[in-house]
Amino acid sequence: MEPKIIEPSKGWKLVDFKELWRYKDLLYFLTLRGIKARYAQSILGVSWAIIQPLFTTLVFTVVFGNLAKVDSDGMPYVLFSYLALWPWNYFSGTLTESANSLIANSGMITKVYFPRMVLPLASIFSKLLDFIIAFLVVVGFLIYFQVMPGWGLVFLPLLIVQLLLTSLGIGMILSAMAVQYRDVKHALTFLVQLLMYTAPVVYSTTAVPEVYRPFYILNPMVGVIEGFRAAFLDRPLPWEWIWPGAVVAMVLFVFGMFYFRRMERVFADVA
C-alpha cells in the first residue's frame, strides 16, 4: 500500500463529509466520553440536567415574574421561563463546550490525524442528552398547569434543526478562534451572559419595540424560543419571527464550516 500524504488545507474549502463519515466511530466515542466525563464522580449524575434549569427558572420567576412583574403573554411565568431556558441552556452549553474542545484535546491534534471538526461536533452532540433529560420537566409543567400542546408540535423538529445549526455554526467559529486567540476562552462566560439578554428568555418578543423588532428577530434564538413556547402552549407559530432567524442560522452554519476549514491548517501549530 502506498503511503498517503496529508497536506494542510489552503484557502476556503468545503467540508469533506465523506471523510467525516469515515470517522463516525471516533465521533461516537468522543461524544460518549464527553457525556461520561461530565457526570463522572457526581453524586446526582444526570439529575444536574434537570436541577440547573429548574432552579434557574425558579429564580427568574421570583425576580422577573413576581418582583419585576415582567409580562409573560398570559401564561404562568414559571412555564414561560422554562420553555425558553430549555433550548437556551443547550445553546449556551454548546458554545462553552465547543469553544474549548480543540484546546482541551490539543494532545490528540498534535499527535494523530483526524478531521478536526469531529471535536466540536462531539461537544455539541454530547449536550443533547441534557436537552432530552430536561424535556421531562416540560412534561411535568404541562401536566401541572393542565396545558395541552397543539398541532404546532409537528414543527418542533424544524425548530430543533434551527437550534442545532445555530449552535454548530457559532460553535465552529468560536472553537477555531479559541485555538489562535486564547482571549476567547476568558470572554466566553461574559459573552454567553450577554447573549441571554439579547434573546427572549426572561421577557417576550412582544415587549421589544416595533422599530427594533426587524433587527431583533435576526437573532436565530428568538425564533427558536418563541417557536418552542408556541408549540407547547397551543398557540400559532410566529413564522414571521422564525424564518429570518432560520436564514441567519444557515448563514452561520455555512460560514462556520468554511472558517473552520480555513483555520484547520494551523491548529496543530498553535494548539
pLDDT band at residue 10 under the 50/70/90 scheme: low
- pLDDT for res 195: 85
56: closest CA among 37, 74, 83?
Answer: 83
Per-domain boundaries in the chain: 17-33+45-265
Does 152 score more than 90 pLDDT?
A: no
- 40's enclosing H/E stretch is none
Instruction: Please tell me the distance from the alpha carbon of residue 252 to that of residue 246, in angstroms, as a whole number.
Output: 10
Cα separation, 34 vs 38, in Å, equals 6
CA 23 to chain centre: 23
- Closest by CA to 226, choosing from 118, 84, 101, is 84
Which one has a higher pLDDT value, 2 or 132? 132
Q: Which residues of 203-235 are buried (b: 16+ CB within 10 A; e: fewer)?
A: bbbeeeeeeeeeebbebbbbbbbbbbbbbbbeb
Query: Cell match 407559530: residue?
Result: 237
pTM of the model: 0.87
Does 6 have pLDDT greater than 70? no
